[in-house]
């Protein structure tokens, strides 16, 4: 494929969303900062107060500075297993497939419609774990919420770096020997040429590894289903500690699970 055809297939991004590079950097930094601030300003030791004083901010900075205490190999291993479990279900649970929109190269991708079935299998596995091990696994999740958050941050950042580097490969469907390979299809918004902005937006349109669409999968399954596991774990922790689940807890977790 000639250079002109490549440019027409992957036109250079001219409009940058999120106010360009400054906005991309701000979003990546602020989202991480918010998780840290919320954790160190609302917990069992300090209670829950808006950080409005110098003393409160000093405690938050001290907690963040002691990040080594929250980098846990155990939490990382369990998070990776969680991600791998859902990836396996996405690939193996029987389902119908929906055809995606026609892309710029004239092709369409198929997407497995088994999110709800994967959730049902996961819920059944969680119920079996509770029947076998009791509340212990869920209490561990509740007690290790922040190490799990750090593990998810490290894992997702590593995966995002891989996907960005992976977007510079030749197309997975290489052309026959002696002819040019079809280029990787890039996102219209992620081909600016600026590595920071393109990393943030997602340079490749549909990065797939072993049939798993990483963008589509990561946007919905590990986080949304993990949210349910966290909520249930917090409710079990509250019941274990106080003997009941509060109305405010029910009001939080039931709509979130329904969502």
- As a whole number of angstroms, the distance between CA 170 and CA 42 comes to 47
- Written as one string, the DSSP assignment of 103-138 is -TTS---EEE--HHHHHHHHHHHHHHHHHHHTTHHH
Distance of CA 123 to the CA centre of its chain: 20
Residue-level pLDDT at 183: 83
Q: Where are the beta strands (DSSP E) in the chain?
A: 42-43, 47-48, 97-99, 110-112, 208-209, 212-213
Contact 142, 135 (CB under 8 A): no
Residue-level pLDDT at 176: 46
Segment-wise mean pLDDT, segments of 10 residues, the chain, 259 residues: 64 92 96 91 80 86 87 96 97 95 92 95 96 96 95 96 93 53 88 96 93 92 94 95 94 89
Q: How many residues would you count in the chain? A: 259
- As a whole number of angstroms, the distance between CA 11 and CA 35 comes to 36
Angle (CA) 243-235-155 rounded to 5° is 145
| Residue pLDDT, tens place only, 195-220 | 999 999 999 999 999 999 999 999 98
Give the Cβ contact number of residue 152 at 10 Å. Answer: 20
Residue-level pLDDT at 1: 52
Residue-level pLDDT at 259: 84
Residue-level pLDDT at 5: 54
């Amino acid at each position: 494929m000639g250079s002109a055809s490549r440019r027409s297939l992957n036109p250079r991004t001219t409009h940058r969303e999120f106010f360009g590079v400054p906005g991309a950097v701000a979003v990546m930094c602020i989202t991480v900062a918010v998780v840290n601030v919320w954790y160190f300003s609302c917990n069992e030791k300090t209670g829950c107060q808006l950080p409005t004083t110098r003393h409160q901010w000093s405690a938050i900075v001290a907690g963040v500075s002691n990040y080594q205490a929250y980098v846990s190999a155990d939490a990382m291993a369990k998070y990776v297993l969680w991600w791998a479990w859902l990836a396996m279900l996405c690939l193996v649970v029987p389902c119908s497939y929906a055809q995606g929109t026609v892309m710029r190269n004239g092709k369409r991708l198929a997407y497995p419609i088994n999110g709800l079935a994967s959730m049902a299998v996961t819920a059944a596995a969680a119920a079996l774990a509770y029947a076998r091990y009791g509340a212990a696994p869920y209490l561990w999740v509740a007690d290790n919420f922040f190490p799990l958050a750090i593990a998810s941050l490290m894992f997702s950042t590593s995966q995002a770096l891989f996907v960005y580097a992976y977007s510079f490969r030749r197309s997975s469907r290489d052309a026959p020997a002696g002819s040019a390979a079809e280029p990787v299809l890039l996102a219209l918004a992620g081909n600016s040429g600026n590595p920071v902005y393109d990393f943030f937006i997602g340079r490749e349109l549909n990065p797939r590894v072993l049939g798993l669409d990483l963008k589509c999968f990561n946007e919905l399954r590990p986080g949304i289903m993990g949210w349910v596991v966290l909520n249930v774990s917090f409710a079990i922790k509250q019941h274990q500690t106080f003997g009941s689940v509060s109305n405010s807890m029910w009001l939080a977790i039931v709509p979130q699970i329904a969502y």
